[in-house]
Amino acid sequence: MAKELGTLIENARKELSKLTGLTVSSTTGATKDEKGWHISIELVEKHSIPDQMDILALYEVLFNEDGNLLGFERKSMRKRMQAEVAE
């Protein structure tokens, strides 16, 4: 049974935070292909003072059509104050 995108994103945020022990900052994207749903989420890798110096990491989470987590991978890291670089 296919899941709704909002439910998949909510599950991705919860599961990734639970697995990594990190705090979710934002969801940055979601796409679907033949492998399943790819959901991109930024997590706070390191809290800093001031918070503009926090280290954020972009993770990609993969779910199958039934909403089962297949895996996750850290794709990049940046300081919160740095703009993202287009690839």
Instruction: State mean pLDDT over 12-38.
Output: 95
Structure tokens at 23: 């705090």
For the stretch 29-46, pLDDT in tens is: 999 999 999 999 999 999
Task: Using DSSP, state whether 18 is helix, strand or coil.
Answer: helix
- Asked if residues 58 and 28 have their Cβ atoms less than 8 Å apart, the reply is yes
pLDDT at position 1, please?
42
Query: In the structure, what pLDDT confidence band is assigned to residue 86 with cuts at 50, 70 and 90?
Result: low
Torsion of CA 35, 40, 46, 50, to 10 degrees: 170
pTM of the model: 0.84
Instruction: Report the chain's mean pLDDT, rounded to a whole number.
Output: 88
More confident residue, 87 or 60: 60
